[in-house]
Every structure is written in C-alpha cells, then in structure tokens.
Amino acid sequence: MGCLWVQSPFPIDLAPVPNLKRIHGKAKDFVQQLQRIHKETEHHLHDSTAKYKHEADRKRRFVEFDVGDFVYAVLTKDRYSAHDYNKLVARKIGPVEVIEKINPNAYHLKLPSHIRIADVFNVKHYTVQRGQLV
C-alpha cells in the first residue's frame, strides 16, 4: 500500500545544506571555456570593426570650412517635399555662406529665402566655391 506525503518527510532544518563554496570541476572548466570564447570573439569583432573603419575612412572626405566661406550645396531628392520636387529643379544652390560650424561633418548655411528646406547640411552635400565672388 502506497503512502502519499503532503509535506516532505524530512523537516527543512534536517535537510542537507549544499556547500556553495565548492564548485564542480566540470562547471569550472565550462565557465573558463566560455570566458575564453568571449575574449576571442571580442578580439575578432574589434579587428573586424577596425578593418571596416579603415576601408570607410579611405572613401571619406575630410574637408573643413570656416565661417564666412562660400560653398555650393547639393540638393538631393529627399530634401524636397513631394509636391516641390520635379526633374527640372536645381540640383545645386549657391554660392551660399557658411554661418556656423556645428561639428566637423555638419555646417549651418545661409540659404536664400525662397528655398524652404533645412539649412544644416552634411559635408558630403557640399562642393567648394572656386574663385572670387563678383
């Protein structure tokens, strides 16, 4: 005849207490192996990122403008609203004056009043104005 226990047959104060300071040998080796794999992965990711950065920097334009310089701003399709853009619209405006340097990659320009777009541009959308203004 079977017996069903509603509670544990041993009171909790008589149960064996596990030694938490003792680490199983296989578990310790597993943790060390995981840490080694994580370090190798981090090293490979760092190397891969450095290679990608090197290739991206080769194509990057390092151009600096001063406040007061004149540049031509290249207007892309996404700068215009849907009803303002058509294939005959001007692609470059300028020369326009650089008002403020926000960071080495973005500048604030003084645009003509009839152009209703944002006046902060990325360096990749500039061409240098050559020669003297008349």
d(CA 16, CA 122): 69
What pLDDT band is residue 131 in, cutting at 50, 70 and 90?
low
Select the more confidently predicted residue: 27 or 131: 27
d(CA 97, CA 83): 27
The tens digit of pLDDT for each residue in 52-95 reads 999 988 887 778 888 988 988 888 877 777 677 777 777 888 78
Torsion angle of the four alpha carbons 43, 45, 46, 47, in this order, in degrees rounded to the nearest 10: 90
Statement: the pTM of the whole predicted model exceeds 0.75: no
The per-residue pLDDT for 53 is 94
The tens digit of pLDDT for each residue in 15-45 reads 566 666 766 678 888 889 999 999 999 999 9
